[in-house]
Amino acid sequence: MSNEIPNLNLLAVFAAVMEQGSLSKAAEHLATNQSTISTALSRLKKETGKELFVRSGRGVVPTAYASNLFTQIQPSVQQLSQVFHSLKDFDPGRSTRKFVMTAPEHLQWLLLNHFENKGNKNISLEVFDQADDDETLYHGLLTQKFDVMVDILPPNHPNIESIHLFDGEFVIACRQGHPRIKGALSEAQYMSETHAVLERTRDKMRSLAHYTDIDTSKRKVAYHGKSLFNNLLMCSQSDFITVVPLSMALQFEKQLQLQVFKPPFNYKKVSNYLIWLKQLNHDPSHRWFRTELVEAAKRIETQMLNAL
């Protein structure tokens, strides 16, 4: 092993490969090519005198030495990254930047519309659907595919930060010409109707089960959808009923000619959290982006309060 401390650039490349999980993703993350990444790893291997990665299928996996090294250098590499990010200028009136995030379906258009109306058209927003399962929910954030994410549950991860944005209502929707529901809805009627439900679990619980104590398993379900909009569309063309966040119902109530009701049973509001990597806390552009999302959330919350 060389007596000199390895070049800090080599350690930064090594950390990127460990975080991204592959040489190609690390190259994309560092805005370079895979050959440069491979050369840097070869140099670090020579300086440490240790094997860092072994091939497995089409990718590579870290050795025990590499895993131990990463554990020791990660906090320092992240701290240095924060320092350099904090020195960068960001002028929202002139800068060019595309922010990328993932958000629940009921907020996607509202957030896109907020950024579409910003004065600087060189700043844009790209929104992705959320992952289908809890296990991969934070993968895009940890690999920095996304700048931030919004979720209905707070995170539990040492490298992730979050703040509470707002608590939103959820409502029950059906078509205006429903033969049995006309201007009012009782709990008994809710349980007796046929439902379109969101086929998504959080913490191994069905979505609605997080927010009420009623036995949702006794509902008659005709349609299991993975999209809130699909459920609303299905109900607008049938006698089904569905549960959606109020922010989603307000977007399509008129267009789909829906009736919207507050739940006729006890329930908890739907919380929304803004989530990001701690290492980006002091990045000027990221801080600006988070502030904008907080402002957008305040507008959404005000709109919902006025609708109740």
Question: pLDDT, tens digit, for every residue of 216-252?
Answer: 888 999 999 989 999 999 999 999 999 999 999 999 9
pTM: 0.70
Q: Per-residue confidence at 2, pLDDT binned at 50, 70, 90?
A: very low
Residues 63 and 120 in one domain: no
pLDDT tens for each residue of 124-164: 999 999 887 777 788 889 888 999 999 988 988 888 999 99
Boundary (domain end) residue, out of 87, 117, 135: 87
31 Ramachandran zone, left/alpha/beta (phi>0; psi -120 to 50)? left
We report the CATH number of the domain holding residue 140 as 3.40.190.10
- Tell me the C-alpha distance between 153 and 286, whole Å: 22
Residue 228 lies in a domain: yes
The residue type of 99 is F
Q: Report which of 15, 14, 31, 34 is spatially closest to residue 23, judged by C-alpha positions.
A: 34
Comparing 42-51, 135-144, 185-194, 236-245, the range with the smallest average pLDDT is 135-144
**Residue 3, domain member (yes or no):** no
Q: Which of 146, 303, 216, 80 is nearest to 155 (CA)?
A: 146
> In the chain, what percentage of residues exceed pLDDT 90?
48
The domain that holds 46 is classified in CATH as 1.10.10.10
Q: Considering the domain boundaries, does residue 2 fall inside one?
A: no
Summarize pLDDT for 256-305 with one digit per residue, the tens.
999 999 999 988 898 999 999 988 888 889 999 999 999 999 999 998 88
Q: Within 10 Å of residue 231's Cβ, how many Cβ atoms?
A: 25
Q: Using the 3D structure, point to which of 33, 57, 87 is the last residue of a domain.
A: 87
Q: Quickly list DSSP for 17-45.
A: HHHHSSHHHHHHHTTS-HHHHHHHHHHHH
Q: What is the maximum alpha-carbon separation in the chain?
A: 82
The pLDDT value given to residue 1: 45
Q: Is the dihedral of CA 116, 228, 140, 54 positive or negative?
A: negative
Task: Return d(Cα 282, Cα 4) in angstroms, integer.
Answer: 31
- Statement: residue 105 has pLDDT above 60: yes
Are 179 and 260 within one domain? Answer: yes
Q: What is the pLDDT of residues 196-225, one digit of tens each?
A: 998 876 655 456 767 788 888 889 999 999
Which of 49, 69, 87 terminates a domain? The answer is 87
Same domain, 59 and 118: no
Pairing of strands 194-198, 220-225: parallel
Question: Could you tell me if 161 and 127 lie in one domain?
Answer: yes
In angstroms, the first-to-last Cα distance of the chain is: 68
Q: Give the C-alpha separation, 305 to 133, whole Å.
A: 31
Tell me the CB-side half-sphere exposure of residue 282, using CA atoms within 13 A: 12
> Are both 108 and 247 inside the same structural domain?
no
For residues 282 and 163, state if they share a domain: yes
pLDDT mean across residues, the chain: 87
Write the CA distances from 115 to 21, 109, 122, 123, 127, integer angstroms.
32, 10, 11, 8, 11
55 and 196 in a single domain? The answer is no
Do 141 and 282 belong together in one domain? yes
Same domain, 242 and 196: yes
30-40 per-position pLDDT tens digit: 878 888 899 99
25-51 average pLDDT score: 88
- The answer to whether residues 243 and 277 belong to one domain is no
| Domain that includes residue 148, residue range | 97-167+271-307
Whether residues 105 and 155 share a domain: the answer is yes
Domain-located, residue 92: no
**How many structural domains compose the chain?**
3
Q: Which residues contact 29 (CB under 8 A, 6 or more apart)?
A: 16, 19, 20, 143, 144
